[in-house]
């Protein structure tokens, strides 16, 4: 059995905040992830809330900035925050070192193009490899999982859930990239990782998946109105229109004056965790 190596562990709200490292078969690299194990896990397996982070992030940003542990401890939720890309000297990066592609910008896809295809396998990492490792190594009730994320990670949460509706009982997002096929961040990532055939991009676009018939019981999305990426990259109206056309239930909350930062996430993470807990059968 492959196992996690503990990088650090700290007592937090009666539970424990861990950082783990393990060797990933999918990315062919060591990977780090942060896991908060709530106090309830002493007695029983606990439901799991995944948080997928955005561009430039590691497992650390959410863990140290969102302030999610207090509510997760109260609700008995395990929080899993993976890294956003493979890393290491042998892993190719954006040729110009740009922040929006390559390291810190895996976009939760399985790359098909060289030189990315060997390591950039974040879709299979999150969909297959990591859940298996979590189930084997931690007191997690894998029959009760929810997923959320921010920006690129919001796109990741929505698309992974839409492709795997049986796995997730609760889905939400903070300022997600609504349609990577229709914004500069997404077009750059998908053309490089997947290639020029835009029909192959649809699996990685929440709006296209909904248009193609994918459905979830409901969705919660928060979006700050003072987010500097709102018009150019995130385009929540595209998700709103796709959901309305398809009859996909969506609660989209435009949060007045909030920007794209973790101050926005910290302000609404409690609402999201309570949304998840309710759907994961937490009393």
Query: Which residues form the interface with ligand GSH (CB under 6 A)?
Result: 54-57, 61, 65, 99, 150-152, 260-262
Closest contact distance (angstroms) between CB of 100 and ligand GSH is 7
Which position has the token pair 């950039």? 120
Closest contact distance (angstroms) between CB of 259 and ligand GSH is 9
The helix/strand/coil state of 24 is: strand
Nearer to ligand GSH, 142 or 266 (CB): 266
DSSP-assigned letters across all residues of 70-96: HHHHHHT-EEEEE-SS--STTS---TT
CA distances from 6 to 21, 35, 248 (A): 6, 10, 41
Nearer to ligand GSH, 8 or 228 (CB): 228
Nearer to ligand GSH, 54 or 186 (CB): 54
Say whether the peptide bond before residue 115 is cis (omega within 30 degrees of 0).
Answer: yes
The single residue of 83, 205, 222, 227 carrying the catalytic annotation is 227
C-alpha of 272 from chain center:
13
**Which tokens go with 121?**
């396998």
Closest contact distance (angstroms) between CB of 44 and ligand GSH is 33
**Nearest residue to ligand GSH, scored by beta-carbon proximity:** 54
Rounded CA separation 68/70 (Å) = 6
Is residue 150 among the annotated active site residues? Answer: no
Nearer to ligand GSH, 90 or 232 (CB): 232
Nearer to ligand GSH, 56 or 255 (CB): 56
Which position has the token pair 């909904």? 210
The single residue of 155, 260, 272, 276 carrying the catalytic annotation is 260
Which position has the token pair 């395990």? 78
Whether 188 contacts 246, CB under 8 Å:
no
Closest contact distance (angstroms) between CB of 262 and ligand GSH is 5
In 3D space, the residue among 181, 30, 54, 196 whose CA is nearest the CA of residue 112 turns out to be 196
Q: Write the DSSP symbol of residue 196.
A: S
Within the chain, strands assigned E span 5-12, 15-24, 29-37, 46-52, 78-82, 140-149, 168-174, 220-224, 251-255
Is residue 227 among the annotated active site residues? Answer: yes
Closest contact distance (angstroms) between CB of 55 and ligand GSH is 4
Nearer to ligand GSH, 151 or 172 (CB): 151
The single residue of 151, 172, 178, 179 carrying the catalytic annotation is 151
Closest contact distance (angstroms) between CB of 18 and ligand GSH is 20
Q: Write the DSSP symbol of residue 103.
A: T
Catalytic residue annotation: 151, 227, 260
């Amino acid at each position: 059995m492959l196992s996690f190596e503990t990088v650090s562990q700290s007592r937090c709200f009666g539970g424990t905040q861990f950082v783990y490292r393990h060797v990933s078969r999918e990315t062919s690299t060591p990977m780090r992830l942060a896991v908060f194990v709530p106090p309830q896990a002493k007695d029983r397996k606990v439901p799991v809330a995944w948080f997928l982070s955005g561009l430039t992030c590691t497992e650390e940003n959410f863990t140290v900035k969102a302030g999610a542990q207090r509510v997760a401890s109260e609700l008995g939720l395990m929080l899993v925050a993976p890294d956003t890309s493979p890393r290491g000297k042998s892993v190719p990066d954006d040729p110009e070192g740009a922040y929006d592609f390559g390291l810190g910008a895996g976009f939760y896809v399985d790359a098909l193009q060289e030189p990315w295809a060997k390591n950039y396998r974040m879709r299979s990492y999150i969909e297959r490899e990591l859940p298996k490792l979590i189930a084997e190594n931690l007191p997690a009730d894998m029959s009760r999982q929810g997923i959320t994320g921010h920006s690129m990670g919001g796109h990741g949460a929505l698309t992974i859930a839409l492709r795997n509706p049986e796995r997730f009982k609760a889905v939400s997002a903070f300022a997600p990239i609504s349609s990577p096929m229709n914004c500069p961040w997404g077009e750059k990532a998908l053309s490089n990782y997947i290639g020029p055939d835009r029909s192959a991009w649809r699996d990685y676009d929440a709006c296209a998946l909904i248009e193609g018939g994918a459905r979830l019981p409901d969705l919660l999305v928060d979006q700050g109105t003072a987010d500097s990426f709102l018009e150019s990259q995130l385009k929540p109206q595209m998700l709103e229109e796709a959901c309305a056309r398809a009859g996909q239930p969506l609660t989209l909350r435009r949060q007045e004056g909030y920007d794209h930062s973790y101050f926005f996430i910290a302000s609404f993470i409690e609402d999201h965790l309570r949304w998840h807990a309710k759907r994961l059968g937490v009393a």
